[in-house]
Structure 1
């Protein structure tokens, strides 16, 4: 009778879709929108076009975020699930077709984790379902990017049974060496 415990792929798909729909609905109800990469988080809060920067009360601390229009209930006021670099985090007031929006950029301290929500009082999203492709390779710093690209290249080469970039370098060097020393016999040279 053990077969009943694990859902079939179809059931799993439906459950995932339902969860995603529920998540989307919960997130849509929030008075702000947010997106994230593995390194940072962007929150936008739509407000009436009549407000100016001085009407706002926006506070970013290492572990909390507050966005309010002075004299009104705060739009966001809560504890962040993970700490941020306050110096690297910013907020701006931007004019958009629908009025204005407060754009908040939060720089994560731990740049290896996804956030389930902006503030802990908000509904969570399932971070295990996040597709990390959304953080573009071009966003990564030079060295990290080179390393990631190399890892991806090596992974692909391995899957195709081809030499990885390091092995390829050795082979290329050997080829060059052979060309420079045509008189030597390399038939017994073992690679690796």
Structure 2
């Protein structure tokens, strides 16, 4: 079913007649994080930029999203303390490993290593 070109889960949408005078409709969106500007094609729209999402806990997120948010939080803290971000740490580790595996070349790259730190 499409309402205002937005997809809903057909098997999770219900309607009921209450007190013989009101219709109650429950529409479950395919993507619960999608914000609709309006319910129907014709009708008033709201400015979704002014809406604030409900706060969520890291434990409510899937593993991949939780890892991404955790990395972003770590990088933000590192930047605030003027410390290397996870990407810079990864690059430093890779260079260090390369230098350990190639000691003759390490002498030539010693200045590069100092610059990255």
Whether 1:111 aligns to 2:55 is no
1:144 alignment partner in structure 2: 65
Structure 2 CA distance for partners of 1:160 and 1:79, relative to 1, 3 Å: farther
Unaligned runs of 5+ in 2: 1-11, 36-50
Whether 1:187 aligns to 2:110 is yes
Secondary structure of 1:187's counterpart equals helix
Give the count of matched residue pairs: 87
- 1:1-192 to 2 correspondences below 5 Å: 61=13, 66=16, 73=19, 78-79=24-25, 83-85=27-29, 109-111=31-33, 128=52, 132=55, 135-183=56-104, 184-185=106-107, 186-189=109-112, 190-191=115-116
Q: CA deviation at 1:79?
A: 4.9
Q: Distance in 2 between matches of 1:156 and 1:65?
A: 48
More helix by share: 2
Q: CA deviation at 1:187?
A: 2.5
Q: Distance in 2 between matches of 1:167 and 1:138?
A: 27
The TM-score normalised by the length of structure 1 is 0.35
Q: Which 4+ runs in 1 deviate beyond 3 A?
A: 76-80
Q: Distance in 2 between matches of 1:179 and 1:140?
A: 39
Q: CA deviation at 1:65?
A: 5.7
Structure 2 CA distance for partners of 1:65 and 1:169, relative to 1, 3 Å: farther
Unaligned runs of 5+ in 1: 1-59, 86-107, 114-126
- Specify which structure has the bigger relative contact order, considering alpha-carbon pairs within 8 angstroms and separated by 6 or more residues: 1
**RMSD between aligned alpha carbons?**
3.4
The TM-score normalised by the length of structure 2 is 0.53
Structure 2 CA distance for partners of 1:160 and 1:78, relative to 1, 3 Å: farther
Q: CA deviation at 1:152?
A: 1.3
